[in-house]
Amino acid sequence: MLAHLLRRGGEAVVAWLLVSLLVFTLVGLMPGDPLDLQLAADPDLTAEDVERLKALYGLDRPLLARYGTWLADAVQGDWGFSRLYARPVAAVMAEPMLNTLLLMGLSLVVGLAIAVPLAVAAARRPGGPLDVGVNLLAFAGFSLPSFWLALLMILLFAVNLGWLPAGGVHAVGDPGLASRLAHLVLPVATLSVLTTGTYLRFARGALLEVVGEDFMRTARAKGLGPLQALVRHALPNALLPLVTIVALQLGTLLSGALAVEVVFAYRGMGKLTYDAILANDYNLAMAALLAATALTLAANILADLVYVQLDPRVRYDD
């Protein structure tokens, strides 16, 4: 088990390093560079000044050397300075990180809370009207463009009905809990449609796999009602693959969160990444992307661990 964990951890670190090199290269290929903006801001800068600034920032050095410097600083906790916010990257990222984790966590919980009971209800009569409806609902959920759903939510609940705020994390000058919660409702509702659809699909599939098993007939034979048999015997077996799916879908959830955050102007990691990319904020874009990558890689290892805890049949003895 420990050996397995170490191996998975090692792989994740290697993967993260590869992604960081890739992202470092890509970020450098975005149009414009930090000097362009200084140049545009100050017409008195001469060609010699540009060369001097390039040397000062190390932009004249080869890519790999710059990456090495960045990595050495990064592992020591120095993620550089955000040009967009004129503050250290780590300080800029702290609050959006919490905002995003809150948004994703709530959507994940809401998604599971709706999907699992619905899947159980549908599995009582496979092929029945409820099952067909649930299946369509699942397809609808993950076929909706999340940013479009976000627009519709704003249109209906903010513009037409005026019940909820259209965007932001809290009202200007009112960072209280009530204001924050009101601003969370629409983003969470939007993202939850996506998570519900995805989880519903897999939960329904997993339940349909096990309802035909022998132990289900045994459960019924010993006198359990259909619902009891489903909840006590089918559900635990069906939840196992769901753990993996939830972890694997975290990257997708993060992507969905990005679009939703941008539409709702919700200051989370997704919006931060988007703004950083558009504003050529190299350091911030790098850090935000790599934090997201680290999160998904870690979630996959965590899913492995949870899986072992839940299923005594699974052993990693290598």
Footprint of another protein on this chain (CB under 8 A)?
Answer: 11, 15, 18-19, 23, 26-32, 125-128, 131-132, 136, 139-140, 142-149, 151-152, 154-155, 159, 208, 211-212, 248, 251-252, 254-256, 258-259, 262-263, 270, 273-274, 277-278, 285, 288-289, 292-293, 295-297, 299-300
Judge whether 122 and 211 are in contact, CB under 8 Å.
no
d(CA 205, CA 105): 24
- Number of Cβ within a 10 Å radius of residue 231: 15
Nearer to another protein, 43 or 162 (CB): 162
d(CA 155, CA 148): 10
Nearer to another protein, 102 or 151 (CB): 151
Distance from chain centroid for Cα 8? 21
Q: Which residue has the tokens 């009569």?
A: 125
State the minimum distance, in angstroms, from the CB of residue 47 to another protein: 20
State the minimum distance, in angstroms, from the CB of residue 281 to another protein: 12
Residue 278 corresponds to which amino acid?
Answer: L
Nearer to another protein, 145 or 176 (CB): 145
State the minimum distance, in angstroms, from the CB of residue 266 to another protein: 15
Nearer to another protein, 154 or 186 (CB): 154
Nearer to another protein, 52 or 125 (CB): 125
| SS (HEC) of 203-225 | HHHHHHHHCCCHHHHHHHHCCCC
Judge whether 106 and 188 are in contact, CB under 8 Å.
yes
Nearer to another protein, 30 or 72 (CB): 30
State the minimum distance, in angstroms, from the CB of residue 124 to another protein: 11
State the minimum distance, in angstroms, from the CB of residue 225 to another protein: 17
Tokens read off for 195: 């998570």
Torsion of CA 285, 26, 105, 114, to 10 degrees: 140
State the minimum distance, in angstroms, from the CB of residue 165 to another protein: 14
